């Protein structure tokens, strides 16, 4: 009978027979159709970036692991460096890898999850940029005292630019150039960096005036809102700026990485305007006060010089006095000349009478001519002597006048040196006050950061540290099971616990009531 009626076949024999590749492809299509777009939150485990630029990572929680792939083009757009232990939110499509019969997440975007992760990323980036020397004090440039043009990189529609323009107009009106840029979102960092680089690219004396100082400003917000000002592209553009730059991001308690790279940090955008320009009315008052002091000083100086000149002039002899002796000698010589001539004539006449008989007319004329010549020579010598005396007196008067003029110049130079010393003293005092203030602010910010990043602060938020009997950290359940007793450290102290299983006689532990959810707090840098 078995030759005529075939034996009964099992029900499974009617199922479609797949090849391995067909079944794997069907599963792949099913998963990609039902999970076309997903967003997954988890902790990065193994992270590998291949030479091709693709990233392979494990996205996990306490119960499951998903293999994650991100292609090179998406990796290059990440605003942070993926590392093991970092909590992230990945978005992409779910697919399979038939070669290993496993499913995987093909992510195209990824961002840190929560303020804690952002703070860790911020601290890592801060250390990296500081190691490159971008935050060195020696790189910072002084701000111009009287800027003619101010460049502002901010949103042109917000209240920030209106506050800046109002305060500049109120204090010291100057020309303001605004570079429109987004101050929040994924594209904000690139636009802010482009604004800084664009202002620096302006040529001096060109059709568009080159700013003397830059202001990068934004209003307050959460750490996520202010994150564009923590991006490397913005920090590096700030450090490379040849124009002195003032950062005014958020409120006074908000601190971003651009504040460390900028030449001056302002607590608010309005404060940036106050730092950039002086108060015009105060300058005018100072100028008037200095002008009055200068007028009084010059008047007093001229009065003193006049007194000194009068005292010196009183010591000088009068020209008439210098000539009186010479004039007297001249008069005396003149009075003696007549009598001397008469005596000489009488004497010569006697001699003539003695020798007249022996003289010829020609000899007499010769002698007379000689005598006349001697008389004329004596007159010329007398006049020449008087002229030389007068010239020497004039030369002495001129020498005294030059000495008096030189002394007056020395007095004027001493007054100028004293004014310069006063100015240098005032500048030194202002510089010391400004340096002490900046160092105090920096020390306060560092203390706040240290307190916020300490593990005690983490314990206060509800976390605990588990240690073994020797004091070593216990990070996994497997390691904890190897120790009989453990120490759990809370914010208010440590508690010794036992890892052995409770006996049947032990009363069952009461299940703690779930704590009411705490309202989400806005993240803060400090």
pLDDT tens profile 62-84: 778 888 889 888 888 887 778 77
Most confident of 46-60, 340-354, 471-485: 46-60
State how far the Cα of 53 lies from the Cα of 70, in Å rounded to an integer. Answer: 9
Do residues 279 and 171 make contact, with C-beta atoms less than 8 angstroms apart? yes
State how far the Cα of 514 lies from the Cα of 525, in Å rounded to an integer. Answer: 30
Helices (H), 249-279: 257-261, 269-276
b/e 141-152 (16+ beta carbons within 10 angstroms → b): eebeeebebbbb
State how far the Cα of 489 lies from the Cα of 473, in Å rounded to an integer. Answer: 11
State how far the Cα of 451 lies from the Cα of 458, in Å rounded to an integer. Answer: 10
pLDDT range class, residue 517, cuts 50, 70, 90: low
State how far the Cα of 255 lies from the Cα of 260, in Å rounded to an integer. Answer: 9
pLDDT range class, residue 521, cuts 50, 70, 90: very low
Choose between 96 and 12: higher pLDDT: 96
pLDDT range class, residue 526, cuts 50, 70, 90: very low
Write down the pLDDT at residue 2.
45
State the sign of the Cα–Cα–Cα–Cα dihedral 106, 108, 114, 116.
Answer: positive
State how far the Cα of 26 lies from the Cα of 101, in Å rounded to an integer. Answer: 12
pLDDT range class, residue 410, cuts 50, 70, 90: confident
Dihedral of the alpha carbons of 333, 339, 344, 349, in degrees to the nearest 10: 160
Q: How many residues are given for the chain?
A: 526
At 112, list the tokens: 């840190």
Mean pLDDT of the chain, nearest integer: 80
Write down the pLDDT at residue 20.
66
Write down the pLDDT at residue 416.
80
pLDDT > 80? residue 393: no
Assigned CATH class of 17-112: mainly beta
Average pLDDT over every residue of 120-142? 89
Q: Across the chain, how many H-helices and E-strands are there? A: 13, 13
pLDDT range class, residue 208, cuts 50, 70, 90: very high
> Structural domain boundaries of the chain?
17-112, 125-278, 280-326+388-442, 459-498
DSSP 241: -
Choose between 335 and 9: higher pLDDT: 335
Write down the pLDDT at residue 505.
47
b/e 339-360 (16+ beta carbons within 10 angstroms → b): eeeeeeeeeeeeeeeeeeeeee
Share of residues in the chain with pLDDT > 70 (%): 84
pLDDT tens profile 411-426: 777 778 778 888 887 8
pLDDT > 50? residue 482: yes
At 196, list the tokens: 């800084």
Superfamily of domain covering 125-278: Succinyl-CoA synthetase domains (3.40.50.261)
State how far the Cα of 328 lies from the Cα of 340, in Å rounded to an integer. Answer: 18
State how far the Cα of 45 lies from the Cα of 61, in Å rounded to an integer. Answer: 9
Average pLDDT over every residue of 91-118? 76
At 468, list the tokens: 């073994």
Name 49's bridge partners: 55
Most confident of 270-284, 322-336, 337-351: 270-284
The residues near 239 (Cβ < 8 Å, ≥ 6 apart) are 134, 139, 261
Write down the pLDDT at residue 484.
76
How far is residue 117 CA from its own chain's centroid?
A: 30
State how far the Cα of 158 lies from the Cα of 180, in Å rounded to an integer. Answer: 11
State the sign of the Cα–Cα–Cα–Cα dihedral 207, 210, 214, 216.
Answer: positive
Annotate 172-196 with DSSP letters as a single string: ---EEEEEE---SSTTHHHHHHHHH
The residues near 474 (Cβ < 8 Å, ≥ 6 apart) are 466, 467, 468, 480, 483, 486
Write down the pLDDT at residue 357.
67
Same fold, 17-112 and 125-278: no
CA within 13 Å, CB half, 222: 10
**Cα–Cα distances in Å, from 181 out to 64, 175, 428, 474?**
42, 19, 39, 48
Do residues 168 and 148 make contact, with C-beta atoms less than 8 angstroms apart? no
């Amino acid at each position: 009978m078995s030759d005529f009626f075939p034996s009964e076949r099992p029900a499974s024999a009617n199922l479609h027979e797949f090849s391995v590749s067909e079944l794997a492809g069907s599963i792949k299509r099913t998963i990609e159709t039902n999970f076309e777009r997903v967003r997954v939150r988890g902790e990065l485990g193994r992270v590998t970036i291949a030479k091709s630029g693709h990233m392979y990572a494990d996205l996990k929680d306490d119960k499951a692991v998903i293999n994650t792939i991100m292609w090179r083009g998406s990796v290059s757009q990440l605003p942070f460096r993926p590392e093991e232990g970092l909590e992230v939110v990945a978005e992409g499509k779910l697919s399979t890898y038939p070669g290993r019969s496993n499913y995987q997440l093909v992510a195209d975007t990824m961002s840190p999850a929560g303020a804690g992760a952002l703070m860790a990323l911020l601290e890592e980036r801060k250390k990296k940029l500081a190691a490159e020397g971008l935050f060195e004090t020696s790189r910072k440039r002084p701000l111009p005292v009287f800027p003619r043009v101010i460049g502002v990189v901010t949103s042109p529609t917000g209240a920030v630019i209106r506050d800046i323009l109002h305060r500049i107009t109120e204090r010291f009106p100057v020309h303001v150039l605004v570079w429109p840029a987004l101050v929040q979102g994924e594209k904000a960092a690139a636009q802010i960096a482009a604004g800084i680089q664009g202002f620096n690219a302006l040529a001096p004396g060109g059709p568009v005036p080159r700013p003397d100082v830059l202001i990068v400003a934004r209003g307050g917000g959460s750490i996520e809102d202010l994150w564009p000002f923590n991006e490397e592209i913005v920090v590096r553009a700030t450090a490379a700026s040849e124009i002195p730059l003032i950062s005014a991001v958020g409120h006074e308690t908000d601190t971003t990485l651009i504040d460390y790279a900028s030449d001056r940090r302002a607590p608010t955008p309005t404060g940036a305007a106050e730092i950039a320009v002086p108060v015009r009315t105060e300058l005018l008052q100072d100028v008037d006060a200095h002008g009055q002091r200068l007028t009084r000083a010059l008047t007093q100086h001229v009065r003193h010089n006049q007194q000194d000149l009068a005292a010196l002039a009183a010591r000088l002899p009068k020209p008439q006095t210098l000539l009186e002796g010479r004039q007297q000698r001249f008069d005396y010589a003149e009075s003696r000349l007549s009598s001397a001539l008469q005596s000489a004539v009488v004497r010569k006449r006697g001699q003539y009478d003695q020798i007249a008989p022996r003289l010829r007319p020609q000899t007499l004329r010769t002698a007379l001519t000689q005598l006349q010549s001697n008389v004329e020579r004596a007159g010329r010598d007398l006049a020449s002597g008087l002229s030389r005396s007068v010239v020497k007196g004039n030369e002495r008067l001129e020498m005294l006048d030059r000495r008096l003029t030189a002394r007056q110049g020395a007095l004027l130079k001493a007054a100028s040196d004293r004014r310069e010393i006063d100015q240098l003293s005032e500048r030194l005092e202002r510089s010391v006050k400004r340096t002490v203030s900046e160092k105090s602010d920096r020390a306060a910010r560092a203390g706040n950061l240290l307190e916020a990043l300490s593990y005690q602060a983490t314990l206060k938020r509800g976390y605990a540290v588990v240690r073994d009997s020797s004091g070593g950290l216990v990070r996994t359940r497997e390691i904890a099971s190897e120790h009989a007793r453990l120490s759990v450290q809370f914010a208010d102290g440590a508690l010794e616990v036992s890892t052995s299983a409770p006996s049947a006689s032990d009363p069952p532990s009461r299940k703690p009531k779930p704590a009411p959810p705490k309202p989400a707090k806005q993240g803060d840098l400090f």
